[in-house]
Amino acid sequence: MTTSSMGTPTADMENYYDSITPSADDYEDDFMCDKFSVREFRGYYEPPLYWTIVILGGLGNLTVIWIYLHFRQRLKTMTDMYLLNLAVADLLFLGTLPFWASEATHGWGFGAGLCKVTSAFYKINLFSSMFLLTCISIDRYVVIVLPTWAQNSKTERLMYSKMVCASVWLLAVALAIPEFIFATSKPQDGSHYCTMVYEDNKGNQTKIMVLVLQICMGFCLPFLIMILCYTQIIRTLLKTRNFQKHKALRVILVVVAVFVLSQLPYNSVLVVEATQATNITMTNCEAAKQFDMAGQMMKSLAYTHACLNPFLYAFVGVRFRRDVIKLLRSYCCCWPTKLIQKGGHMRSSGMSDTDTTQALSL
């Protein structure tokens, strides 16, 4: 995380580690503040947590992709298209974490070129994941609140979903351009670290713009759209008599709660980072180090969303659970047949097989 320390800012204050890349938390700038304890904390804290996220998130997202590749007929709705792309985005995002885990322990030993690529890859998949979650919310709104129009335009919406997914990836790439420009491998205390270095005359302004862009596009806009969509969905569900609506409401509340609890703390840290870049307000070295460590934990909490997405948006659905059981049965003859029958029974006892059910992931 961006830190400040005791003393008066110097002309080199622009060359510091920026928190928008995963490795930019534990640095020493040109202020007199020794951040060795922050780097030591990061070396112990990040690697085991990141590898846990990689393993759990990898298994979940690979299973989602496996399901879609095996049951190609599932790609019949916009939500299905978004879920597949979300799994790919999360999987690619998880692929960057081993690099940051290695850096936390040994420093960045992969060169400046790979630093730019990895940082940009991280940001591309961060933005694409947030945008796809937003798209899922909008599609759920259309299907639940505007069911007649949704049913009549089913074919057109499926076609549009492919265009939307392509637009999401292009926009995410555009928003990651700062990583291609400013990310580099920087020497620090005998090691190298992959960080954002703003060396132009307006380094602080550039940093602020990049942070504001991430906060607005990576959290505020998706969160606002999710709240608006799910508020209308809840109002619509409360007017129905379907006995499954309470389960649907629980799913929605869990989705929103997990998004807020995982993303809000880290984005709050980024707001402080932007404030620090505007006007150095944290002048106590110990407070700065505590802030860096807290920022590390908030960032790691945000990363867990890549693990939880398959369970929040896919495995909560009976269809996904049933298809997983079918695949396990086909590859493992010893898998209990009763579980498949149970999955079929659960499917028949749920809501009807409509886009409404699929959009709610029930």
What domains lie within the chain, and their CATH numbers?
36-360 (1.20.1070.10)
Distance (Å, whole) CA 184 – CA 113: 7
Contacts of 241 (CB under 8 A, 6+ apart): none
**pTM higher than 0.85, yes or no?**
no
DSSP codes, 311-338: HHHTTTSHHHHHHHHHHHHHH-TTS-HH
Contact 53, 306 (CB under 8 A): yes
Contacts of 141 (CB under 8 A, 6+ apart): 229, 230, 232, 233
Distance CA 281, CA 286 (A): 14
- Rounded Cα gap, residues 4 and 7, in angstroms: 9
Residue 70 Ramachandran class (φ > 0 left, ψ -120 to 50 alpha, else beta): alpha
pLDDT in tens, the chain (362 residues): 333 333 433 333 333 334 334 443 433 343 467 777 788 888 888 999 999 999 999 999 998 898 888 876 666 778 888 989 999 999 999 999 999 999 988 889 999 999 999 999 989 998 999 999 999 999 989 988 998 888 888 888 888 888 999 999 999 999 999 999 999 998 877 788 898 888 765 667 888 889 999 999 999 999 999 999 999 999 988 888 765 677 777 788 888 888 999 999 999 999 988 888 777 666 678 888 888 888 888 988 999 998 888 888 877 777 777 788 887 777 765 555 554 444 444 333 333 334 444 445 43
Which ranges of the chain does DSSP label H, i.e. alpha helix?
36-70, 78-94, 97-106, 111-145, 147-152, 154-175, 177-182, 203-215, 221-238, 245-278, 285-303, 305-313, 318-331, 337-349, 355-360
